[in-house]
Structure 1
Amino acid sequence: MSDSHAAPPEVLFTGFPGFLGSALLRRVLDRGDGPVACLIQPQYRELAEERAREIVSAVGGKWKGDAAAAAPAVDDAPATDPAAHLYEGDITEPDLGLGSALDDPDLLAGVEEVYHLAAVYDLSVDADLAAAVNVRGTEHVLDACERLGVDRLHYVSTCYVSGRYDGVFTADHLREGQSFNNHYEASKHRAEVAVRERMADGLPATIYRPAIAVGDSETGETDKLDGPYNLLRLLLVQPGRLAVAFSVPGADETELNVVPRDYVVDAIAELSGRPETMGETYQLCDPEPLTVPAFVAALSDAAGRRTVTVPTPKRLAKAAARLLSAAGVAVEPATIDYFDHPTRYRCPNAREALSGTGVSVPPFESYVDRLVAYARANPSVGDDPMT
């Protein structure tokens, strides 16, 4: 049936049906915000429909699947039910590929809040793709926010806008003359600079900077085995009685800042629902991270490996990683840069804002067994980014 009384979306999401975006959408709908419009790329439509159905059903609503830039197809559910609408588009295009839908009061003109999570999360991404998605894509989202006159933007950045900053990096730092490990870091830095400039011009926004996000601390679930999982793969292809890992110069003092997905989602869900967090930047990191040797030891114990770390010059370690990848062991050479990463991340304002909420970072050792178990049980999970 057609229903001209169905409420149009009030919230717009990018980055759905990605790993973080899917979990955060459920939290936003569950607390009563919405209806939500999810910007999706055509190649992910089937996955997006499946996940949206599951999420809407889980929070007590009824699925309303929409064609891009068309009036919503609705069912008999009242307009107050939690609803997710899918709009095909692309942040790399002007107007997000949505055209006149942004001006139509029956479609997206009523959007008051935007969650921007879409990005290329890939340490080996080339410069052109990183610029197109992470930088220009964010600029297009900012343009759309201004066109819609939104009450608030929630922008998901990364702690690694720090680049190779030598010292303690907090939410107060951004433009420090730093160099970058890769195009991913550099592009996310440029994107956050663009967001900060619009904020200075009056755009109401909050920035969230997760550290290295891994699977769920309760279930181990992830949809991408990258980052620290490269080390896990290396350990798992070796005998349990003796495994070998690289140790580059400087690794003993280097912190590897890892947080589970549920912490990131819980923190954003908590902070985004409070008006006093407007205008703030929050680093969602572990305030007491493990050093690289301690991280390797914890991962080795969980994987049942007796691991020996071999001192290896960084250039040689990267060459060995390339050879391993060519031989079928997916070890990304770009991850080696984080074994001597000089930056230490701290999050005093996030800890203060989340104090008393029950949202905190669990110690890596408390959930690493679940990460390993999930990776072992789901070997088909790849490391390709959703772009």
Structure 2
Amino acid sequence: MTTVFLTGFPGFLGSALVERLLERHDAETTVTCLIQSKYREEAETRVDEIAADAEGDDEAVADRVRLVEGDITEGDLGLGDAYDELQADSLEVYHLAAIYDLTMDREPGKQVNIEGTRHVLDFAEGADVDRLHYVSTVVVSGLYEGRFTEEMLLEGQKFGNYYESTKHGAEVLVQERMDEIPTTIYRPGAAVGDSETGETQKYDGPYAFVETLLDQGDYAVVPAPRGAGDAEFNVVPRDYVVDAIGYLSGIDESEGKVYHLADPDPPSTVELIKTLGEAAGKKHTFVPPYPKGIVRGLLESLDPEHELVKSGGFEFQTWGASFDCSNALEDLEGSGIECPRFEEYAENLVEFYREHPEIDDAAMT
């Protein structure tokens, strides 16, 4: 039986993408999800939810999702004797698994994001797949200043944290093997909750602004580094990213391309904060500037492990890069899939945050 092999389940994007893959392929094609043993219960629950939401026989849908335990940091993906058979059955590979944590240390990031990707590439090449779909990120741009196109990657840029540098290193590996493996690369912006429901799996990135706003009264103060009024803060809702990957991965034209799944008209950091303030019901949100260099230096001297220091958060709020989305806009034209403006769904993000305080910023590792 043929199968689509996917890593990154039951993660934020992977869980939603499985639903799209089941819909696209015929009933004889399964989706095999490589999972870590510690997420077995969560993965099984997610499969049940997917089956319940799907049209038709719940049991038949659930039977089309196979869960296999493994580990991408191992050369055989932790599959042992099952490796060869699964490789022979796989017609496509979707690689989403990564440590998404801006404060992570170098070594785990290297093992999962870089070496893990190398092992998935080996699997895909040996399987002679029709296509490898690799989910990268726009932060492969690092601290690049200016317009970053979908054709750019090795631009001598520096990086603000190990997440950026290891994801960049991983995409370098993928692009080096695109002559041997038919590949499509997707670079999402910072993914936030669903634009319709606000649903998310973790609170990070702009959710720090939401927390600060909700802790204050009608008049809120959220400081930002100088330059934040001119810097783009590029976020995208999960449903746009998943819908776009679901569509683009199913067309022949996407082979060999890189797609920026980013907001083509993003707000500045200051605009984003003020929009969240309105969504939170604030009468007015003040965003006073502060000197980034002085504050960063002070924090580094007091606490080198401070989240803003380790994550590169100062740089992210004054990001000098903007993202050209020409490939994505051209190939999504006519599909009905487009990135909504941030102000159209900000209220849904805030409302979900209010209703679900139990969610935290922990990454799935």
Question: TM-score category by the smaller chain?
Answer: over 0.9
Q: Output the amino acid matched with 1:26.
A: E
Q: Indicate the SS of the match to 2:178.
A: helix
Over 3 Å counting, the alpha-carbon distance change for 1:220 and 1:321 in structure 2 is farther
Does residue 206 in structure 1 map to residue 184 in structure 2? yes
What number of residue pairs does the alignment pair up?
357
Cα distance 1:353–1:165, how it changes in 2: closer, same or farther (>3 A)? same
Equivalent AA in structure 2 for residue 277 of structure 1:
S
- How do residues 287-306 of structure 1 correspond to structure 2 at under 5 angstroms? 287-305=264-282, 306=284
Instruction: Determine the structure 2 residue equivalent to 1:223.
Output: 201
Matches within 5 A, 1:1-387: 7=1, 9-32=2-25, 34-60=29-55, 77=60, 83-104=64-85, 107-200=86-179, 202-238=180-216, 240-305=217-282, 306-315=284-293, 317-318=295-296, 332-333=308-309, 334=311, 335-387=313-365
Quote the offset at 1:331 in angstroms: 7.0
Over the aligned positions, Cα root-mean-square deviation in angstroms equals 2.2
* Aligned 8 A contact 1:246 1:317 in 2: no
Query: In structure 2, do the counterparts of structure 1 residues 213 and 371 end up closer, same or farther at CA, with 3 Å as the change threshold?
Result: same
- The letter for the 2-side match of 1:103 is D
Q: Is the 8 A contact 1:234 1:331 kept in 2?
A: no
So what's the TM-score if we normalise by structure 1?
0.87
Decide whether the 8 Å contact of 2:9 with 2:15 is kept in 1. yes
Deviation at 1:317, TM superposition (A): 4.6
Could you report, residue by residue, the CA deviation over 1:70-105 in whole angstroms, capped at 9, with x for unpaired residues? xxxxxxx5xx9860000000111111101221212x
Are 1:163 and 1:181, in contact at CA under 8 Å, matched by a contact in 2? Answer: yes
Which shows bigger deviation, 158-167 or 145-154?
145-154
SS of the residue 2:68 aligns to: strand
- CA deviation vs aligned residue, 1:285-318 (integer Å, no higher than 9, x gap): 1111111111111011111232212221224555
State the SS of the aligned residue for 1:129. helix
More displaced, 349-358 or 47-56? 47-56
State the Cα deviation string for residues 103-156 of structure 1 (Å, max 9, x = none): 12xx55211100000001111111111101100010010011112221210000
| Matched-pair contact (CA < 8 Å) for 1:168–1:345 | yes
CA contact (8 A) 1:94 1:140 kept: yes
Distance in 2 separating the partners of 1:332 and 1:241: 26
2:109 is paired with a residue whose SS is helix
Matches of 2:242 and 2:203, distance apart in 1: 18
Contact 2:48 2:62 in 1 (8 A): no
Gaps of 5+ in 1: 1-6, 65-76
Conserved 8 A contact 2:103-2:307? no
Looking at structure 1, the residues matched to 66 and 296 of structure 2 have their Cα atoms a distance apart, in angstroms, of 44
SS in 1 for 2:275: helix
- Give the Cα separation in 2 of the matches to 1:62 and 1:294: 46
SS for the counterpart of 1:44 is helix
Deviates more, 1:303-312 or 1:84-93: 303-312
Measure, in 1, the Cα distance between the counterparts of 2:48 and 2:88: 24
CA distance in 2, matches of 1:321, 1:27: 44
Contact 1:230/1:332, CA 8 A, preserved across alignment? no
Q: Deviations over 1:213-253 (max 9, x none)?
A: 10000000001000110111111112x23222122122121
Deviations 1:254-296 (CA, angstroms, capped at 9, x unpaired):
0011110000000000000111211111000111111111111
**Cα contact 2:260–2:324 (8 A) shared by 1:** yes
**For residues 62 and 111 of structure 2, what CA distance do their matches in structure 1 show?**
36
| Counterpart code for 1:45 | R
Q: Distance in 2 between matches of 1:164 and 1:269?
A: 30
Question: Percent sequence identity over matched residues?
Answer: 50
Give the Cα–Cα distance (whole angstroms) in 1 for the partners of residues 163 and 9 of structure 2: 20
Equivalents in 1 of 2:200, 2:170: separation in Å? 25
Q: What is the TM-score of this pair, normalised by structure 2?
A: 0.93
Contact 2:87 2:123 in 1 (8 A): no
Q: CA deviation at 1:35?
A: 0.4
2: CA distance, partners of 1:336 / 1:167: 18
Please, which runs of 5 or more residues in structure 2 have no aligned partner? none
